[in-house]
């Protein structure tokens, strides 16, 4: 529930709305509708990554860091990727806190 939707900042790169539609009313706000659309829509991975500036920090929010190989091959060499989870990790909380510390 998002009682007061907020406008997306210029830095927010949407992965569920095509860039040509970023100024539409549905895409301008961080709202329940926006996030529901994000869950139900395909991820526009390549389009989103092409918009990242140099020296970016990319945080992968997933249970197992499954996109690390793809991210590292598609991003500039100076980009840093941080997965918040790792498959088979015995202490997930320590791994998460260590990743946040990076």
Task: Please name each of the domains of the chain with its CATH number.
Answer: 1-51 (1.10.287.1960), 52-102 (no CATH)
For 39-90, write each residue's pLDDT tens digit: 999 989 888 888 888 888 888 887 788 888 888 888 888 888 889 988 888 9
Residue 5 · residue 35 · CB < 8 Å: no
d(CA 33, CA 95): 32
Report the predicted TM-score, pTM, of the whole model to 2 decimal places.
Answer: 0.63
Residue with the bigger pLDDT between 61 and 19: it is 19
pLDDT at 51: 86
CB neighbours of residue 73 within 10 Å = 7
User: What is the model's pLDDT at position 21?
Assistant: 92
Across 24-56, b (16+ Cβ under 10 Å) vs e yields eeebbebbeebeeeeeeeeebeeeebeeeeeee
pLDDT at 69: 87
Residue 29: pLDDT band with limits 50, 70, 90: very high
3-class SS at 5? coil
What single DSSP character describes residue 53? Answer: P
pLDDT for the residue numbered 40: 94
């Amino acid at each position: 529930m998002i009682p007061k939707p907020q406008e997306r900042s210029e830095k927010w790169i949407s992965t569920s709305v095509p860039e040509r539609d970023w100024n539409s009313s549905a895409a301008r706000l961080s709202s329940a509708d926006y996030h529901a659309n994000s869950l139900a829509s395909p991820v526009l991975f390549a389009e989103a990554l092409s918009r990242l500036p140099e020296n970016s920090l990319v945080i992968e929010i997933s249970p197992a860091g499954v996109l690390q190989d793809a991210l590292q091959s598609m991003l500039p060499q100076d980009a840093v990727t941080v997965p918040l989870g790792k498959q088979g990790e015995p202490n997930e909380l320590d791994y998460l806190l260590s990743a946040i510390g990076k």
